Structure 1
Amino acid sequence: MFFKTLCMVLAALAFNAKANVTEWIDFKFNGGAIQVPVKIAGVDATATIDSKAKTNYLSDDFAAKHQDKFKKTGVILFKDQFGERNVSVFQDVKVHIFGADLPFSDIIAQPNPFADLTLGIPFFRQNIIQIDFPNKRLRLISRDKLDMKKIANMEMRPEVNSKAQSVVGQQSIKKNDESNRAVKVTVNGKEKWLTLDTTAPAGVTMSREAAIKEKLLDQTYAGDLTALQQNFTSPADLYSLSSLKVGPFELENVLLAVEPEGGKRLIAPVLRQAKTGTLISREVLPDGVLGLEVLQHFVVTVDYTSSMINLSVE
């Protein structure tokens, strides 16, 4: 992949490192996802940062092994992109991360082979998150220390949420806007909305029919796939996009992944549903996913609450 410079006038981000900005913590990739060391209720553990996970959750194995350290408050029927099932709910889970002890509530337990804790959309809504992909580090910034309106250089919106949770009984996990965030990009000269996904290995992932409709399957990908191929959860056909504009940057030879003809989808279809609320006029229906093969080149600063994002390079 190569950069084609469009605009190198980048916003200078001034951070106060002594107040309301956490220390940088290093991360690594495991199973194609960002992973950081944490302590959960005093126990050494690992956490995955997932920009599209509908809730924060503990792995089943970790919750069962250390159940005496958590306050279990019940079982709910929970629905997300993986289906509908009964899950245990825990309150007041203490997580040591970013040099501080952070309490988490309404954490569910579900299978996770890669980490003990997954921090998803509720976590992304709490603070501005800055992910320095080239240097494999990240930190949190409070909203009073950074004006995202001044530095945002890419349009972001909530996306249509067709996998909203369903709940039986009096107990529920607070919804608190659990929708993914989509960003506007330009693919081969056409504007598209793509889900921001910090776990997707390809630069862009689309359904085969959508890619065919846009005539994107003309050029087979010729780049090095050694580090990426193992992170695909299902078989994929790989192609190359001649041009992808993200924010003020234009990239060439971007990896496009689609399912093989007749094969299992790499991304689930999103169906528009009748909804009410203040977000309905802003919600968008995504055309695909923007993933790590693109994000790895940038420092990504994102605020889910205001739906604003900045991409910068060193």
Structure 2
Amino acid sequence: MLKSYWKALLLVITLIFSCLSFAGVSEWVDFELKNGHIKIPVKLSGIDTYALLDTGAQGNSINPNFVRKHGLQFTKGQRFRVTGVFGEEMRRAYNNVPTTIFGADLELDDLIPVNLGGTETGLLIGSGFFSRFIVQFDYPNQRMRIVTRDVLRLGDIENIKVESQRGSGEPLVRVSFGEDSDPFWVLLDTGSNGGLLIERSLARKHNLLEKITSSSMSSGVNSTAITENLRVEELIFGPFTLENVLVSVPAEGESANLVDQNRLTGSRIKSRKQEGILGYDVLKHFVLTLDYRAGHAHISLPE
């Protein structure tokens, strides 16, 4: 099923970017930014909805709230272990889901039920989309395009340290709280609408807990938890230094899977230690060019 699904998704990607020129660069395609999430219009079972594009997700998901609202029924598939920031559980996927993406009619398999907030967003598209090409997100201008690897060697021009996480392939990026501060690795997540969420132990190491000014409820794919918020004077992100950046940490006693949330169950493959998640509140300033599969990235300011 997975093999047939990826063939179908590759067809969709080809149709979406059929305007690829001989230079191997597509035209810009507009996307919508809603609450810090990148979304594109799609149809599920003929019903208009949105798909969220998420570099931090290994698989693809369907919103059970959307399914219930419209009284939809799909073929049940295999069970998957879903590990999110605030919990882990087993869920049974849906198969043969009628989907229209950029005019292409498909039936998608292995869509895992994940709460995407409300009913407006019906679908989440993860790593399969991003691993096929080099993808460029222009956040300020709300547009994206793809580039083929034969015309752009992103590793030759990368200006930020990124590695593909072993096992999941998801992008980890190295950041720090200043020139004299030890760097650490976080998940680069286009599906996160926050700033920087880090392990409480990391915040303690950098003496940040005394800077906490507020608390709030944060939601993961499985549950919600209390996080505490603070601002750091500097965050070094590639060649750029951002000031007064929002940072969140799980409250005392809360459990958060920020270190190994993307580890494959039973896998002994080791990777960089992931100590947080970097999201929209940082990315919103930049044009991000990402080779998801190879682990290369470049960031710049928009033209």
TM-score category (smaller protein): 0.7 to 0.9
Q: Deviations over 1:208-255 (max 9, x none)?
A: 22211222234456xxx9xxx988434322112222111111112111
Question: Which aligned pairs between 1:176-215 and structure 2 lie closer than 5 A?
Answer: 178-188=168-178, 189-215=181-207
The sequence identity of aligned pairs, in percent, is 27
Amino acid at match of 1:87: R
Distance 1:60 1:218, change over 3 A: closer
Question: Which aligned pairs between 1:105-124 and structure 2 lie closer than 5 A?
Answer: 105-112=108-115, 113-114=117-118, 115-124=121-130
Report the Cα offset of residue 130 of structure 1.
Answer: 1.4
Q: Deviations over 1:95-147 (max 9, x none)?
A: 323xx638575432414335111011222212222111112222333323432
Counterpart of 1:138? 144
Counterpart of 1:237? 228
Q: TM-score, normalised by structure 2?
A: 0.74
Equivalent position to 1:261, from 252, 261, 279: 252
2:92 and 2:127 map into 1 onto residues whose CA distance is: 18
Amino acid at match of 1:110: P
Report the Cα offset of residue 58 of structure 1.
Answer: 2.3
Report the Cα offset of residue 43 of structure 1.
Answer: 4.0
Counterpart of 2:29? 24
1:230 and 1:220 map into 2 onto residues whose CA distance is: 11
Equivalent position to 1:311, from 276, 299, 303: 299
1:140 and 1:230 map into 2 onto residues whose CA distance is: 36
1:57 and 2:30 are equivalent in the alignment: no
1:91 and 1:309 map into 2 onto residues whose CA distance is: 35
Secondary structure at the residue paired with 1:54?
coil
Question: Which aligned pairs between 1:57-136 and structure 2 lie closer than 5 A?
Answer: 57-60=61-64, 62=66, 65=70, 72=75, 75-82=77-84, 83-91=88-96, 94-97=99-102, 101=104, 105-112=108-115, 113-114=117-118, 115-136=121-142
Point out where structure 2 has 5 or more consecutive residues left out of the alignment.
1-18, 220-224
Distance 1:40 1:145, change over 3 A: farther
Point out where structure 1 has 5 or more consecutive residues left out of the alignment.
1-15, 161-176
Report the Cα offset of residue 275 of structure 1.
Answer: 4.4
Counterpart of 1:5? none
Q: Is the 8 A contact 1:236 1:257 kept in 2?
A: yes
Report the Cα offset of residue 94 of structure 1.
Answer: 4.5
1:27 and 1:208 map into 2 onto residues whose CA distance is: 33
Aligned residues: 266
Secondary structure at the residue paired with 1:122?
helix
1:181 and 1:75 map into 2 onto residues whose CA distance is: 28
Q: Is the 8 A contact 1:157 1:183 kept in 2?
A: yes
